[in-house]
Amino acid sequence: MKLYHLPLSGHAHRAVLFLSLLGQKAELIEVDIPNGAHRTPEYLELNPFGQVPVLEDDGLVVNDSNAILVYLATKFGRKDWLPDDLKSVAKVQKWLSVAAGEIAYGPCAARLVTVFGADFRADEVIARAHRILKLIDQELEQHQFIIGDKPTIADVALYSYVVGAPEGNVDLMPYINVRHWLARIEALPGFVEFPKTAVGLRA
């Protein structure tokens, strides 16, 4: 397997983290996005969206972070990470939607503003980040991980941009359940951290 990634991308970190939690190896290929490597015809052939991560496995190309999580759990038969009972199927999917929606356009976007100068309205995306963090915090009051007392790919999908939220001026202090949950994920065997940017290291 090859994983095209960028260390500073939380979307890519989801895939790197999950591979490591599974104890699986992939060749990591860094895509030089700051210098436009995601806009070359070769890369756009792999992923017309021009984004990281992309997983290439024996000719099959998977180019969305949630899809990579589902693909890897399915390929390796890891029902612990992606349970197949009806209730869990629905719950995991719900939080994958949150990762692709409120998280991407909340804490992720807020961090894109400070780290990469992206053109989002900071007040809008920071407010959205707090709304979703409050809901996640409320959910985590009831169990150790997001759908129950064991970690699933839904936790992996949510983790990276939540831990990186302070880099986008989204304070995690009010969310005690979220902070405990981050620590629980960080204690899992195989955990690999989401590197801080210069913005995060200054804070």
User: Cα–Cα distance between 42 and 178 in angstroms, integer?
Assistant: 40
Q: How far is the CB of 198 from its own copies (least distance, A)?
A: 26
Cβ-based nearer residue to its own copies, 94 or 143: 94
CA distances 49 to 38, 41, 55, 62, 68, Å, are: 9, 12, 14, 12, 15
Q: How far is the CB of 187 from its own copies (least distance, A)?
A: 27
Token pair, residue 49, equals 């969206």
Write out the residues near its own copies by the rule CB under 8 A.
48-49, 60, 62-68, 70-71, 74-75, 86-87, 89-91, 93-94, 96-98, 100-101, 104-105, 119-121, 124, 135, 138-139
Q: How far is the CB of 113 from its own copies (least distance, A)?
A: 13
User: Cα–Cα distance between 62 and 72 in angstroms, integer?
Assistant: 10
Cβ-based nearer residue to its own copies, 110 or 200: 110
Pick the closest to residue 115 from 171, 156, 164, 178 (CA basis).
164
Cβ-based nearer residue to its own copies, 76 or 191: 76
Q: How far is the CB of 179 from its own copies (least distance, A)?
A: 20
Cβ-based nearer residue to its own copies, 66 or 160: 66
User: Cα–Cα distance between 168 and 183 in angstroms, integer?
Assistant: 20
Q: How far is the CB of 91 from its own copies (least distance, A)?
A: 7
Q: How far is the CB of 139 from its own copies (least distance, A)?
A: 7
Cβ-based nearer residue to its own copies, 124 or 186: 124
Cβ-based nearer residue to its own copies, 8 or 92: 92
